[in-house]
Structures are given as C-alpha cells and as structure tokens.
Amino acid sequence: MSARDRLSTTGVWYFTDTMTAGEAAEFAQRVESLGYSTLWLPDTVGRDPFAHIAWLASQTTALQFATGIANIFHRHPGPMMQVANTLAEQTGGRFVLGLGVSHGPLVEGLRGLDYSRPLTKMREYLTAMDASPYRGQQGPEAPLRLLAALGPKMLELSRDAADGAHPYWTTPEHTAQAREILGPDALLCVEQKVVLSTDADAARAAADATLKVYDQLPNYRNNWLRLGFTDDEIDQRAPRFVDAVVAWGDEDALHARVGAHRDAGADHVCVQPLSVDGPTTLDWAALEALAPGS
C-alpha cells in the first residue's frame, strides 16, 4: 500500500513525550491494532521526532508515521532530505514528512534564530531540498511532503511545491477553504482535537487546558481571526470558538465532526484525543470510538 493510500484512513495525532520508550511502542502498537493508518508526532521541545519514528516503526508492521510538524528553521534542508529518505527506506515506505515554519516565539524566542520571511524561507527551503544530493538506498517511493499550511499563500505553496497540506487547529470551514485553494489533487490531511464527553463544562475545560498552550502563537491565532472569531472570543473561550475548534460529545458527535472534514474535502483526518481527566491522560475510549470501522 502506498503512503497516499494509507492516508485515506483516519489517523491519530498525539504527544508521546511523557511515555517511556517501551510505553510509546505499546501505544503505537495499540493504535495500529485499532486500524488507524498513520500516527502523527510533534516536533517541539521533546523527543527528536525522526529518531523516535525510527524506534516506533521498528516496533510496528503496518502503521505509517508522520512528522506533525518538523520545524524547518531547526534543520538544514540537506539533512532533512537525508532523514526523510532514510526513514522512507527503513520503514518500507511508512513515513510522511510534514514540514512547517512554526511560530516566531518558538524560533526566535526559544531558539534565538531568525524568523524573518517565513513563507519565502519555506519556498527556498523546498527548492534547496530538491537540489540536495542523496546517494543512500531508496525506499519503495519518495516520501510524501506536506506543509503545515493555514493561510492562503502557504496553502498555494503546498499545492505547487509539495504533495499537500497538514492544517492544525482548524475547522471544517477551513478545510473547505483549503480544498478550494489546493485543488482536487493535492493531499489535505487535517488534525482535529476531540473530547469524548457529553458534559459541556468538562469538555470545554479539557479544551481550555490545551488552548492555553497555543492561543498566543501567532500563526494559529491569525488563522482563527481569519475564520471570523474575535480576540475576545479566543481569550474568553467563548463556546462558539471552543466548540468550533474542539469536537466534543458522544461517539456520534465525534464521528460527525470527522465526517464534516471529509465532506469539506479532507483526504485524511488525524484525531487528537483530549481527556476530561487532564492533558497528560490518554483517552483510549475516544480512540476506540473513532477507530476505522468502529
């Protein structure tokens, strides 16, 4: 099965940094057993995602892995090409390279790197990757390359210089807008946070605990504003805003949100379960409810 074919099935997006290596392997194996096609792993201040994927892929047989999302400011395009091809080869094609420009506070503030002209930087980075030599063994196919695109210009670049886009913290309305820009052929792989709970207060509290990590990051906030939410709605956690970016409710409600993304043009939806018991609690019931074929 090709990487593109695998992306026709629902995936999972999750942090594994609080797990031991063994626990992370068991987590990936269970995700695989539930029928999910792809496990998306972040690139923040935890484990190196490429080394971690190499380990997890060695502990699984069919599960595909994707970076969600590798920061281009932290890695030269040549080594990025090397690691993507190495993982594609050593996993038997079970690797998707997700690339992004991250946010100014994480690049300039945390790493002390220049964050000027991120769109131009991404365009130049992709060109440099394509020009980088690679003489190692090749996998069954070149690794797919997706961009963490939110705004129109980055979505256009995803269409023209990559295999598609991986929007994060979005809505089905954004998915429809993205599909219109991407056209019919580029991949659209969207992330959706979910809370399996019919208790509105508890579900929104779980959403708030995660939003606190992201709500001041400019690229996410600017995208929410483009979608028609106000600064006050974001800051005050207005139900209209929270309920749009985090799906909550019973199994039918969560399935409906995934379906709404697909109806809007998503090829792949990767669900990120949030728990009413706290941000470090993995809600297996949510993943079981949304498992392909459930």
Mean pLDDT, consecutive 10-residue segments, the chain of 294 residues? Answer: 96 98 98 98 96 98 98 97 98 98 90 94 98 94 97 98 98 98 98 98 98 96 98 98 98 98 98 96 98 86
Q: What is the pLDDT of residue 293?
A: 76
As a residue count, the chain comes to: 294
**Domain at 3-191+251-272, CATH class:** alpha beta
pLDDT of residue 294: 74
- Span between the terminal Cα atoms of the chain, in Å: 22
**Rg of the chain over CA atoms, in angstroms?**
18
100 bridge partner residues: 71
Predicted confidence at residue 48, as pLDDT, reads 97
- pTM listed for this prediction: 0.97
Joined together, the tokens standing for residue 39 give 């496990």
pLDDT given at position 97:
98
Instruction: Give the pLDDT score at 83.
Output: 98
CA dihedral of 160, 166, 172, 178, whole degrees rounded to 10: -10
What is the model's pLDDT at position 110? 82
Q: Rounded to whole angstroms, how far apart are CA atoms 31 and 106?
A: 30
Q: Where are the domains of the chain?
A: 3-191+251-272
Q: Are 204 and 22 in contact (CB under 8 A)?
A: no
143-166 b/e (C-beta count within 10 Å ≥ 16 → b): bbbbbbbbeeebbbbbbebbbbbb
